[in-house]
Structure 1
């Protein structure tokens, strides 16, 4: 007799590495999966449609998985889904919220499974600004639940299913209810205090922009033959990561949320062994080692992780009276590389509608 689960139908929005992997993994585990992509990116679905499914490779095992539905029709994708999971870049949250909003139903769970960037609050802000008051519950993880790469659009090489990831609902008083459903998909999720905690323990802004900036010449010169984690994060470069982490800790302490040191976070998630030296953790990682790139100075390692990560952290520091000189310098230099004003384009407390709040107000907002 088939065991009944609280969640059976899952809509996966976004058909990049994370979405294709989630469709394969959750489909393999018996969930009814609907894979969706925005119409303007519907070509991302073509390889899956043409092949009739997704080839999942995981630790020398292979399985061919056929999603229940592959579509660029959002209404069909989310109709009847208990969980709507967004596996998208942080930059795309507002666009997906606008697309989803008219078709959301009471009691649906929205799970933003990507790099934490106050995404739940931003999603809610959009749908409320559209006059939609559907009674959904929403939450987010600190990072994507996978270490993965997709080949030719329909073949997944799954390096890692995260062993432990922070999760919070927005507001945090809903975390027990939302987490109960999301743990049906990923038992590795553990409760965080609030979405400040998930946002400030997202490792990407700490790991990517600084090392990429220090390897900018190599990235441009290599023509694609560059491995950031294996060759770009040397002992000296790792000191910059640690300097960013020190500034991040000050932000966490001010907001009374858990600070997870970089070395510990890498080991807890399962990316690396718990080694003494940070650069050796990256270099020896079986998850990070095979990952090539970034291939250009406009990679998400720069654009997303500065604009949606470091700019927000800097903005938070200014509001709390905490200096972030290393973070600020990376924002400035990263922008100069491609003549981009990250301060203007990036995510700030002002854009979140939180510019006039003090520390207590910022905590109350997410609670």
Structure 2
């Protein structure tokens, strides 16, 4: 039987543990002792429950699944399986990886959801730690497979599931048929293998929809405390036009680095098996996204604190290295930095942090 260790017990991590266990894979779920609420609840009950209905909306993949181990012991977690799926905010990747390093072997494969250039950053951390003998394999996914939420400790709801999941394998020479077979078991939807973590980072569909729409709507988001549907209510004709211009900047950066990227609309239609004619139509009517009746309530939400420093800043840096202007991306970073009193140009994921030389 295949087994897996899930690192991170947030919305995506608990859902990953549930779905993979439901598919017959033995699961160890880990989180840091400081954030043990989910792990403690699941350890006590021995299972995760997925609701069939939530707030009057029908959910997917309902039922319960037994979890083999739920722990806050990182050594125990990494000894459980060579297959590791890290599902956490990008800012936590380095924190988790620092704790993981002493217990990792060259047999470990680390799937990162979402990657956001994480494979490059974690590989550089390994090199900086003077561990050349440690030949790790990093798999950067552009997102997570599920639209999901934790309802209460050990209880989730799954609103939707992507049709497939693009990902990269780094170093590329570690790609084997055995690895691909394992990934097809660990990722419960079809996969698409991209060239490298840079392409995977640029293909993340959160790029425009999250940080730009959140930035443009911050006044109403804060004043109404996020009590409405983000995708339907924050996307207007005008904001969709701005997002389209921002997407053109991303596509230009990708082209300068040799990638033929999907447009935001192409990606969303492909991932959710839909055929909307505009991004505006998708956000207003997507059957998956209209179920999520919530929105960011402040500038400290991950749509800003994760997507700006870990998606927009790398794009800006990749553009700058090729002499390309990305004024909307740059403006969004400046505004988000002003919102939170932080210079995301410095604290975000720079080429130096990714181990990429200026070209």
TM-score bin, normalised by smaller chain: over 0.9
Q: Shift of residue 176 of structure 1? A: 4.3
Q: Shift of residue 180 of structure 1? A: 3.1
- The equivalent of 2:32 in structure 1 is 38
What CA distance in whole angstroms lies between the structure 1 residues aligned with 2:246 and 2:165? Answer: 21
Q: Shift of residue 165 of structure 1? A: 1.7
Question: Are 1:126 and 2:129 an aligned pair?
Answer: no
Q: Shift of residue 34 of structure 1? A: 0.2
Judge which range, 316-325 or 222-231, deviates more. 222-231
Q: Shift of residue 305 of structure 1? A: 0.5
Question: Are 1:27 and 2:21 an aligned pair?
Answer: yes
- The equivalent of 2:278 in structure 1 is 277
Q: Shift of residue 203 of structure 1? A: 1.4
Q: Shift of residue 175 of structure 1? A: 3.5
- The equivalent of 1:192 in structure 2 is 194
Aligned residue runs from structure 1 range 39-188, under 5 A: 39-57=33-51, 59=59, 62-114=62-114, 116-132=115-131, 133-177=133-177, 178-186=179-187, 187-188=189-190
- The equivalent of 1:233 in structure 2 is 235
- The equivalent of 1:353 in structure 2 is 355
Q: Does the CA contact (< 8 Å) of 2:124 and 2:353 recur in 1?
A: no
Q: Does the CA contact (< 8 Å) of 2:214 and 2:304 recur in 1?
A: yes
Q: Does the CA contact (< 8 Å) of 2:28 and 2:80 recur in 1?
A: no
TM-score (norm: length of structure 1): 0.90
Q: Does the CA contact (< 8 Å) of 1:275 and 1:281 recur in 2?
A: yes
Inter-CA distance 128–39: structure 2 relative to 1 (3 Å threshold): farther
- Structure 2 residue matching 1:357: 3-state secondary structure: coil
Deviations 1:44-63 (A, max 9, x none): 32332344321123646531
- The equivalent of 2:313 in structure 1 is 311
- The equivalent of 2:288 in structure 1 is 287
Q: Where does structure 1 lack aligned partners over 5 or more consecutive residues?
A: 359-367
Inter-CA distance 210–83: structure 2 relative to 1 (3 Å threshold): same
Judge which range, 72-81 or 124-133, deviates more. 124-133
What CA distance in whole angstroms lies between the structure 2 residues aligned with 1:52 and 1:243? Answer: 48
Q: Does the CA contact (< 8 Å) of 1:227 and 1:293 recur in 2?
A: yes
Q: Shift of residue 135 of structure 1? A: 2.8
- The equivalent of 2:55 in structure 1 is none
- Structure 1 residue matching 2:262: 3-state secondary structure: coil
What CA distance in whole angstroms lies between the structure 2 residues aligned with 1:86 and 1:217? Answer: 34
- The equivalent of 1:362 in structure 2 is none
What CA distance in whole angstroms lies between the structure 2 residues aligned with 1:191 and 1:146? Answer: 19
What CA distance in whole angstroms lies between the structure 2 residues aligned with 1:351 and 1:185? Answer: 28
Q: Where does structure 2 lack aligned partners over 5 or more consecutive residues?
A: 53-58
Deviations 1:201-258 (A, max 9, x none): 0111211111011111111111231321010011111112111110010111111123
Question: Are 1:18 and 2:12 an aligned pair?
Answer: yes
- Structure 1 residue matching 2:276: 3-state secondary structure: coil
Judge which range, 338-347 or 193-202, deviates more. 338-347
Judge which range, 344-353 or 209-218, deviates more. 344-353
Q: Shift of residue 10 of structure 1? A: 0.1
